[in-house]
Structure formats: C-alpha cells, structure tokens
Amino acid sequence: MTGFEIFWPTVAHVALVFALYALLSARRVALVKAGKIEASVFRENRDEPDESLVVRNSIANQFELPVLFHLCCVLLYVTEADNILSLGLAWLFVALRYAHAVIHVTGNRLRYRRPLFMAGFLVLVAMWTWLSVWMAMS
C-alpha cells in the first residue's frame, strides 16, 4: 500500500452524505413547487412530509454508526494497520451504507434495510477487532 488508500472509502462515504443532502433539497423543493406543503414547514421540521422525511432520516443515520467507521479508518492509518484486509473491509462497509441508503430513500422496506445495516455493523466490528488485534500485537 502506498499511503492514503484507507481514506478513499471515507471520501466515498462523504460523497454519499452530500448526495443525500442534494436529494433532500430536491425533494423539499419539489414538494413546495407542487403545492403539497409550505416552505415554512421546514423551518422547524416538525411536520416533514414522508417523501423528504425518509431522506432526512437516512442523513441522520449517516452520522451514527459511520462516525465509528471514520474514527477507525484514522486509527488504522495512524497505527499502520491499514492493509489490504482493513481496506477491503472499509470498502465493504461503504458499499453496504450505499445499499442501505438506497433502500432507505426509495421503498424503505425494513425487510431489506435491516440486513444491510446488520451486515455493515458486523463489518465495522471486524474492522475494530482487526485494529485491536494489531495494537495488541505491536
């Protein structure tokens, strides 16, 4: 590995967050233009329509478990535990976050969304386990 590979999955995750914010804005604008809601509703966000609420919830979800992902990637880099295994796990985590977000903002079927979340959770546990083992053996 040449140096910064472990940060590309984090950049890819940030791109997902930016895309979700763009989608949220587009859905809100469309709702206002269609006359389904007044723009003032978004001032307090108490009565957000379902069309944009699912996107807002998906964005919030990107700042829960993924925070531990970003921290782990930094620690993998700092401790020099960022090898092909950790890089593969990082990309897998991000791919699962993309799939989870797509399900979340489209049909939002829990039947499909939950297994993707759990798979991402287990991948993140594996990343932290690898980091812990690496530090214990160093």
Q: Quick one: pLDDT at residue 2?
A: 63
Note whether residue 90 is domain-resident. yes
Q: What whole-number distance in Å separates Cα of residue 48 and Cα of residue 38? A: 10
Q: Quick one: pLDDT at residue 1?
A: 62
Segment 78-125, tens digit of pLDDT:
999 999 999 999 999 999 999 999 999 999 999 999 999 999 999 999
Q: Quick one: pLDDT at residue 44?
A: 81
Confidence of residue 73 (pLDDT cuts 50, 70, 90): very high
Q: Quick one: pLDDT at residue 46?
A: 79
Segment 5-16, tens digit of pLDDT:
999 999 999 999
Q: Tally the domains of the chain.
A: 1
Note whether residue 121 is domain-resident. yes
The CATH number assigned to the domain holding 102 equals 1.20.120
Mean pLDDT over each residue of the chain, to the nearest integer: 95
Q: Identify the domain containing residue 32 by its residue range.
A: 6-137
Q: In the chain, what's the furthest Cα-to-Cα distance?
A: 62
pTM for the structure as a whole: 0.94
Note whether residue 1 is domain-resident. no
Q: What whole-number distance in Å separates Cα of residue 32 and Cα of residue 26? A: 10
Q: Quick one: pLDDT at residue 41?
A: 86
Per-residue pLDDT averaged across 29-42, rounded?
A: 91
Which carries the bigger pLDDT value, residue 105 or residue 48? Answer: 105
8 A C-beta contact, residue 117 and residue 57 = no
Note whether residue 49 is domain-resident. yes
